[in-house]
Amino acid sequence: MGQFDEEGLRWLGFLGVYSGRKVEGERGGNIGLQTFESGEGSTETRVSDQIRGGEEEISTVWTGGGGRQSGRMAVVGNTLELEVDYFSTQGASVRKLEKEFGNKLGNERSNAYPAVTRGSCIYKYFPTADERLLEYDIDKVVYEQRSQFQKILIVHSRSLGNLLLLDDLQNLSESDLIYTETLMQRGKENYRGKEIVILGGGDGALLHELLKEEPKYVVMIEIDELVMKAAAKYLRSCCGDVLDTLKGDNYEIVVDDCVNVLNTYIQQGKSFDYIFGDLTDIPISSNPQGETWDFIRSILSLSMEVLKPEGKYMTHGNGASCPDSLKMFERQLTSLKVPVEFSKCKAFVPSFMEDWVFYQIWKKN
């Protein structure tokens, strides 16, 4: 594959709805497909309109100029879908293209999608919890490594600051204090003099904010030391200096699997006032089966065993756009050996670009 410049390969598309014209065909779905291509430097793209069985041609003047264009056209119901690929350093106006085709088709309404960049060395596209595509104003890659556990990526966004992604999922940005404050229910929970465990939390943000609340002692258990090293250098506005050392006056960081450490605490008879599950998101799945669900159930069960009678387990769930998965998680809470009650809340997290749901869980009296 050839090399692309920063503009990369762009994709354009729009939808046009025919005005009073019905597409005829023997079956539903895509009943026609036409492809087209114009050569380098061409200023006119002609698309043969034989989808409706007619002989007329739809043609448009391509005003972007200087590039090579190709694409496809398909009809679904009464809707014409046109996709255009082009490579041009001068760019092209999708809005003008939409208008020109719309006028020729006599469509009642149409919609132009923003161009999508392909072949760029800068990551710009990441999903919402329910798999909708988001484009970020990312202008550079700050850090990229793969640990033995996951892919670690830190990019810079012009609006969010540095953004940490783990296995290509948004984790935390420099603009996400609301995530941490909602997870810890700042202003609603009293952490002064309390003993606390953080499961995960490798970006250091939760530990940094909890220490401001004057707890007695905080233990953070993180399996991936490389995440902490990256966060200590590139997310300093989130974590301060807490990741510079593994032990402070009233906290320590244990580099280990949290399941192992929780089992050790159970054997030692230790208990804590608060346990934070800052680990994986609730899976998006049709049923609560699989490795991730088993891990979540294990963490919940172990945490209840080391939680003091009046203690709380605090965790995040998933996007509010995934109610079925959230309900599935809540059903898991009712099946724990230790009866529990819970409350939940949500907050809009800037780097997620959506509302995120958080849970507070405690033993039932």
Do residues 139 and 288 both lie within one domain?
no
Residue 298: inside a domain: yes
Rg (CA), the chain: 26
CA pair distance 225, 114, nearest whole angstrom: 39
Q: How many domains does the chain have?
A: 3
CA pair distance 47, 80, nearest whole angstrom: 13
Span 188-243, pLDDT tens digits: 999 999 999 999 999 999 999 999 999 999 999 999 999 999 999 999 999 999 99
Total residue count of the chain as it appears in this document: 365
The CATH number given to whatever domain includes residue 222 is 3.40.50.150
Do residues 349 and 217 both lie within one domain?
yes
Tally Cβ neighbours within 10 Å of residue 282: 24
**Of the ranges 11-20, 177-186, 282-291, which is most confident?**
177-186
Residue 52: inside a domain: yes
Residue 4: inside a domain: no
Do residues 247 and 306 both lie within one domain?
yes
Indicate if the pLDDT at residue 2 is higher than 90: no
CB-based contact 326:317 (threshold 8 Å): yes
Amino acid type, 234: Y
Indicate if the pLDDT at residue 40 is higher than 50: no
Do residues 55 and 192 both lie within one domain?
no
DSSP type of residue 128: -
- Detail the DSSP E strand segments found in 187-306: 195-200, 217-222, 251-255, 272-278
Do residues 158 and 287 both lie within one domain?
no
CA pair distance 347, 195, nearest whole angstrom: 26
Q: How confident is the model at residue 39 (pLDDT cuts 50, 70, 90)?
A: very low
Residue positions annotated with a catalytic role:
278
Residues 6+ positions from 308 with CB-CB distance below 8 Å? 271, 272, 273
CB-based contact 319:357 (threshold 8 Å): yes
CA pair distance 59, 74, nearest whole angstrom: 16
Span 125-175, pLDDT tens digits: 898 999 888 999 999 999 999 999 999 999 999 999 999 999 999 999 999
Residue 1: inside a domain: no
Helix (H) or strand (E) run with residue 96 in it: helix 94-105
CA distances from 304 to 21, 336, 342 (A): 63, 9, 13
Do residues 65 and 91 both lie within one domain?
yes
CA pair distance 305, 197, nearest whole angstrom: 13
CB-based contact 356:320 (threshold 8 Å): yes
Q: Calculate what percentage of the chain has a pLDDT beyond 90.
A: 61
Domain carrying residue 338: 177-363
CA pair distance 61, 76, nearest whole angstrom: 25
Q: Which among 15, 71, 69 has a CA at the least distance from the CA of 42? A: 69
Residue 19: inside a domain: yes
Global confidence as pTM: 0.79
Helix (H) or strand (E) run with residue 164 in it: strand 161-166
For the chain, what is the mean pLDDT? 80
